[in-house]
Structure 1
């Protein structure tokens, strides 16, 4: 299928400009995305970290739509390292709320498509929340089709009562399973980095993805985890069977909001499932959040992942509007 399309006329006063990497451009792009998604604020430091650690083969290109010299919309296309394919790209357009509905986003989207064409893309992916009707219509009107849905769930940390779960960790210890932190493992296990990387790669194959997952290298894993400004070694929990790493659950800080934490990967090796290990890992994470006066913990789960959704529901996580992944096939691969 051709990527040719009827181009939207560029609104008067709008000029497309490539992202320069300057402090001002980073600040403008982060501000635009934060205004579109104010519940998930980013910081310039987080974006700069991502750029500095991204492998050379993983492409990311950014553009602005300036109105009379002022950025009012931001767009990007990029590879996804964890689902890498050289001709498959994520594509996202963000328009300041005050400037939506004027054709600016449509013109920027067309510009991104034109700029992307030399890479011969075969598929585009995007994502939005189900209650953002303008974004949904924008994608559907351009031929995107709904794919995987993810429930976002949030926990009111102060309201959580751990009493019903007292003794759960002791039961696991009697079976030889111990929960510890990455902080402790870094101090006592010289092979910690490699063991976590191997566990992560194994677990990621069982996590639902919009496309086939690809393993990341040990170097990339070390960069994204241990050098990440949001890494919390005391809030990153690992289940051990002796010296074997059999499960994990990670909390990540928010640079923009110290009262919130994000849950990263939670998973258990197949041979150790249905023993309450994932629940124990989540309980340790919630205890960490309570000890640090965190207000909210956010997490995401694929809509058909009943095992993890059931654990979260039992613990008091409350579902929010779902996030919908979209894809658009452009040509045969």
Structure 2
């Protein structure tokens, strides 16, 4: 009887292409599933509108219930920072009140069918460890765990940078500056930052090889996105050379929270306390400008960065699991 009911429920589901009118519905689903990681329709649409569709694929579908309302969404896309033409990220989200009705399965099978036209060979997806039912659902479909990343949060209301005064300043020969200041001084600041980002990123623990994102798309995100805040991106300089950085981005949905991008230092400058000091500078800025919390994500294999965050007072949350599926075995 249960199987028959599930089959009837699934038969009542319709899958169609995503339309702009669907943004409020998919945001509601996301915010119900992840109430600590809110988003807005404006943020979601900005990301889609500024996606470089000439180079990267992104496909979105929605599932409709019997009454025509959106009860789930699914998507797959290339990953610009680890690009391979046949490797894709997949994301499926189902409204809590429509789960266990075959919505996720219908979306998954629909996306898989379309992926065949791109000769896809591998998939990546992400599940929070605390979402045990979702993890089991993913694993039943042949996904294997590849890596874990801690989410960590710092409460700025209780953060006291004075405890780290001996390590607060840049080491000898190094100075710190915000991207906002550098944009006024250096016409090539964005290109130099882009090159620095791509020099550091390959050294981070990762599953797939790093590839540089399209420069125009990256620039748009850094300067013009809803999360842009050039005053909160700090650079370590040796003369005019950028040798380290830490990035913070805003959120429209959570205006009192900042999200960490990349923090790192060129290999030949490591071991001098630059990463700790520049991150401390960014946290001082965040607290002085009225933000309540800073969040960051680090691979469980990134012992150096995890050590810095723990010393600064970040508190670990439930980790995120990266799953992968080899489609060549399908």
Superposition pairs of residues 25-64 of structure 1, within 5 angstroms:
25-55=22-52, 56-64=54-62
Instruction: Confirm or deny: 8 A CA contact 2:92 2:108 kept in the other structure.
Output: yes
Superposition pairs of residues 84-163 of structure 1, within 5 angstroms:
84-163=83-162
Distance 2:166 2:173 in 1: 14
1:233 — aligned with what?
230
SS in 2 for 1:151: strand
TM-score (norm. length: structure 2)? 0.94
Distance 1:148 1:188 in 2: 40
Distance 1:39 1:171 in 2: 34
2:203 — aligned with what?
206
1:4 — aligned with what?
none
2:214 — aligned with what?
217
* Offset, 1:53: 2.0
Distance 1:287 1:182 in 2: 16
Distance 1:256 1:97 in 2: 20
Q: How many residues are paired up?
A: 322
* Offset, 1:245: 0.4
Structure 1 pair 100–277 and aligned structure 2 pair: CA distance change class (3 A): same
- CA deviation map 1:80-103 (0-9, x unaligned): 111111111111110011111222
Runs of 4+ in 1 over 3 A off after TM superposition: none
Pairing partner for 2:63 from 39, 58, 65: 65
Q: Structure 1 stretch 56-65 or stretch 30-39: which is displaced more?
A: 30-39
Distance 1:170 1:101 in 2: 54
Segments of structure 1 that go 5 or more residues without pairing to the other structure are: 1-7
2:317 — aligned with what?
320
Q: Kindly report the root-mean-square deviation, in angstroms, between the aligned alpha carbons of the 2 structures.
A: 1.6
Distance 1:36 1:48 in 2: 19
Structure 1 pair 165–143 and aligned structure 2 pair: CA distance change class (3 A): same
Pairing partner for 1:195 from 189, 192, 210: 192
Distance 1:208 1:170 in 2: 28
Distance 2:214 2:137 in 1: 36
1:5 — aligned with what?
none
Structure 1 pair 269–29 and aligned structure 2 pair: CA distance change class (3 A): same
Superposition pairs of residues 269-284 of structure 1, within 5 angstroms:
269-284=266-281
1:257 — aligned with what?
254
- CA deviation map 1:202-238 (0-9, x unaligned): 0111122221111123323212212222111111100
Distance 1:149 1:80 in 2: 18
Distance 1:213 1:38 in 2: 31
* Offset, 1:171: 5.7
Instruction: Confirm or deny: 8 A CA contact 2:156 2:293 kept in the other structure.
Output: yes
* Offset, 1:247: 0.4
Pairing partner for 1:293 from 290, 294, 302: 290
Distance 2:208 2:107 in 1: 26
1:183 — aligned with what?
180
TM-score (norm. length: structure 1)? 0.93
* Offset, 1:170: 3.9
2:3 — aligned with what?
none
Segments of structure 2 that go 5 or more residues without pairing to the other structure are: 1-5
- CA deviation map 1:86-122 (0-9, x unaligned): 1111111100111112221112111111122111110
